Amino acid sequence: MTDPFALDDRDAAPPPAGPSPEALLAGLNPQQAEAVRATEGPVLVLSGAGTGKTRVLTARLAYLLAGGFAQPWQCLAVTFTNRAAREMRERVTAMIGDEAASVALGTFHALGARMLRRDGERIGLSRDFTILDADDQLRLVKQVAAGMDLDPKRWPPQAILAVIQRWKDRGVPPERVGADPGAEYAAGRAVALYRAYQAELARLAACDFGDLLLKCLELFQAAPDVLERYQRRFRYILVDEYQDTNVAQSLWLKALAMGHRNLCCVGDDDQSIYSWRGAEVGNILRFSHDFPGARIIRLETNYRSTGHILAAAAHLISRNADRLGKTLRPASGEAGEKVKVRAVWTGDDEARAVVEEAEALQRRGVPLAEIAILVRAGYQTRAFEERLMSTGVPYRVVGGPRFYERQEIRDAVAYLRLIRQPADDLAFERIVNLPRRGIGGATVDQVRAAARAAGAPMSRAAARMIEQNALPARARGALSRFLSDLEGWRALAAGADPRTLLSEVLEAAGYLEMWRQDKSPDAPGRVENLKELIAALDEFADLAEFLEYVSLVMENQTGDDADRLSVMTLHAAKGLEFDHIFLPGWEDGVFPNQRALDETGAKGLEEERRLAHVGLTRARKGVVITFAAARRIYGQWQNNMPSRFLDDLPEAHIERISESGIGGYAAPRAGAQRAEDAPFGGAGGDESGYKRGDRIFHDKFGYGEIRAVDGNKLDIAFDKAGLKKVMARFVAPA
């Protein structure tokens, strides 16, 4: 392969043998062909969902090479993922042959690294610098923070690293942070931490991922001749997913494009949904300002969805003020089914209704792989996962582990395992220093060795070592406190229900607080997941029942080659498509997400609406939106207002379906949880409304008969699951 970064400048040679440029336009619609032919000057291709942006981008690159506009090494193509880069190179190679191998094509980080390996010595960076992964970055931040005597419990290293990375995403080195609000973090020492962290990277001859662009900007400023060489080299620059660029990436592109000004960015402002990881929608909105005379070409012919789906999505997104504007139209002209908006009484009813409809689609011949449930927040997946498992519908969680496989859930379950079974050494090792208690790896190794020598559990070996003063004083004290806490929690477990137990343990241990203080983007979601787990424990009579259930859940795996329904967050769904989509939880506070609204106000609301637009446009044939009149969130029942986004959907393109009695309809359907016995006013009344001998249905345990009633607690003999104690709100009349 020719290395475009190592070649000398040279005049354009004749075009390579291969297809004529015009032949590459075969099959493109007029707007797509226009985007390919617009070779000169800055061009923004606004490519809506399902409009064939990848085809346009690859055809444009092939067109430039086949037409002799540039040699391969004079083209720079930038993507966000290695997979996208691979796909583009393969497609262009299929179009014009091996000439495509010499194109400078890759991710922002990969291309930045190649520039620094070639020219980084101009700013004191060794050619063989190391690129640190996430674990190495965190370890280095911990060392720097420890050197400045910062309390890791008050100022978690993950949070410090997140602040530093935000600055790097904006192209801001330590000396230019100024009065940024983040500078107040860590008692006003955040900038000093940033400076010390960068000094340590320099000492180690290393860069983190943020440096791969930040150092390039430094290089361009310190060595104008290097920048001029790259500007002269890259006659044509193509960029995919421009709406997802951060400030540093935008500055890097602008610097390189100022030579020939032949910059073509493909993106969709209506799909900019990653501000929480640094993406700046303003980059695409300001394109014409940043590149005067820029040409904007809109791709509006959608090859994915039907007319009703596109009309609903278009009407919704039109409510956003900060957008360049376009209207998607179905290529087929087919109207298809209207978007269904279904109202249900509770979240449990929602999970049941969604899975039942998915099963109905499967019976009609729709593969499960063409069905997806898209939720706003990760904690919402639990109800659907449990319903899918209870009905035996194969599923997979896309973009992350299943609910009970997530790190924070495994940690919480490990606390419960060790409380119930003191001999559970695996659980002991997982949580003994989580959160950090000053019990290091060396101490754990000593305890493990002593336990094996004595043939005893680690917790018993640890107690014996404490009695014998066989550990350093600091570790001995920390371990003693941990064992004392365990004994207290075991005493609590003897009389408390599982939910109360876990709530008390996670608070007392500081585990929940650890994630509350963590400033990394996924930390709030972890807190939500833990709260969802605590609430889920209401369904279990005792700790043993819950732990048995979790062990069975973890064994319930399906082969990767099986036909499976997909469950994922809306963020994970971007770029994917399915025949049928379910969009649950469309209630204010859930979606739009309350935290997003509280933190970013009107700007956050517009991003939430873009997320709704992304969800709708994942579907080819059918969309079902659901919302619940009441939902149990972290164990507390809440009355819900339907999502304000439902008001943005045009009546002509939606079909409203409601459980009886919701929204002014008739009384509740037979067997449904009614307003008077569902928790629409909070926790519900003291009496269950059930009596001995009543037949009921439970989502997980199935049908059963009530044997005893104690307020809202029922003793139920289930037909298949045996005798269990269940809260009344989790069953319905059979």
**What is the per-residue pLDDT across 138-170, written as a single tens digit (0 to 9) for each?**
989 999 999 999 988 788 888 899 999 999 999
Per-residue pLDDT averaged across 15-43, rounded? 88
Q: Is 671 helix (H, G, I), strand (E, B) or coil?
A: coil
Element (H, E) at 281: none
Architecture label for domain 404-548: Orthogonal Bundle (1.10)
Q: Report the pLDDT value the prediction gives residue 219, as an integer from 0 to 100.
A: 97
Question: Which residues fall within 8 angstroms of residue 603, CB to CB, at 6 or more apart?
Answer: 275, 322
Question: Which of the following CATH numbers is that of domain 309-394+558-684: 3.40.630.30, 3.90.1150.10, 3.40.50.920, 3.40.50.300?
Answer: 3.40.50.300
Per-residue pLDDT averaged across 439-445, rounded? 86
Longest dimension (CA), the chain: 91
What are the boundaries of each domain within the chain? 21-120+214-299, 140-197, 309-394+558-684, 404-548, 685-734
Per-residue pLDDT averaged across 512-533, rounded? 86
| CATH fold of the domain at 685-734 | SH3 type barrels. (2.30.30)
Q: Report the pLDDT value the prediction gives residue 438, as an integer from 0 to 100.
A: 84
pLDDT of 680 over the 60 cut: no
Q: Report the pLDDT value the prediction gives residue 676, as an integer from 0 to 100.
A: 32
pLDDT of 558 over the 60 cut: no
pLDDT of 32 over the 90 cut: yes
pLDDT of 668 over the 80 cut: no
Q: Report the pLDDT value the prediction gives residue 686, as an integer from 0 to 100.
A: 38
Whole-angstrom distance, CA of residue 481 vs CA of residue 486? 9
Whole-angstrom distance, CA of residue 152 vs CA of residue 146? 8
Q: Report the pLDDT value the prediction gives residue 18, as an integer from 0 to 100.
A: 66
- Tokens linked to 211: 């440096």
Report CA-CA distances (Å) from 105 to 45, 240, 270, 622: 19, 11, 26, 37
For the stretch 44-97, pLDDT in tens is 999 999 999 999 999 999 999 999 999 999 999 999 888 888 888 888 888 888
- Please enumerate, as own/partner, the contacts of 667-676 that have beta carbons within 8 Å and a separation of 24 or more: 668/345, 670/733, 671/697, 671/732, 671/733, 671/734, 672/345, 672/349, 672/732, 673/345, 673/346, 673/348, 673/349, 673/729, 673/732, 674/345, 675/345, 675/629
pLDDT of 282 over the 90 cut: yes
Q: Report the pLDDT value the prediction gives residue 547, as an integer from 0 to 100.
A: 82
For the stretch 622-664, pLDDT in tens is 999 999 988 877 667 777 889 999 999 999 999 998 876 565 3
For the stretch 367-403, pLDDT in tens is 999 999 999 988 898 889 889 988 889 998 887 777 8
SS (H, E, C) 542-606: CHHHHHHHHHHHHHCCCCCCCCCEEEEEHHHHCCCCEEEEEECCCECECCCEHHHHHHHHHHHHH
Whole-angstrom distance, CA of residue 556 vs CA of residue 558? 7
Question: Which residues fall within 8 angstroms of residue 100, CB to CB, at 6 or more apart?
Answer: 61, 62, 65, 72, 89, 92, 93
For the stretch 573-622, pLDDT in tens is 998 999 999 999 999 989 999 888 887 788 999 999 999 999 999 999 99
Q: Report the pLDDT value the prediction gives residue 185, as an integer from 0 to 100.
A: 87
Residue with tokens 């009441």: 630
Within 10 A of 474 (CB to CB), how many other CB atoms are there?
Answer: 12
Supply the DSSP symbol for 642. B
Q: Which of 239-253, 511-525, 614-628 is predicted least confidently?
A: 511-525
pLDDT of 326 over the 50 cut: yes
Q: Report the pLDDT value the prediction gives residue 700, as an integer from 0 to 100.
A: 65
CB distance 103 to 74 below 8 Å:
no
Q: Report the pLDDT value the prediction gives residue 683, as an integer from 0 to 100.
A: 29
pLDDT bracket for residue 455 (50, 70, 90): confident
Asked whether the domain spanning 685-734 has the same topology as the one spanning 309-394+558-684, the reply is no
**Sign of the torsion angle spanned by Cα atoms 291, 296, 302, 307:** positive
**CATH number at 21-120+214-299:** 3.40.50.300
Q: Report the pLDDT value the prediction gives residue 229, as an integer from 0 to 100.
A: 95
Please identify every residue annotated as catalytic. Answer: 53-54, 240-241, 271, 618
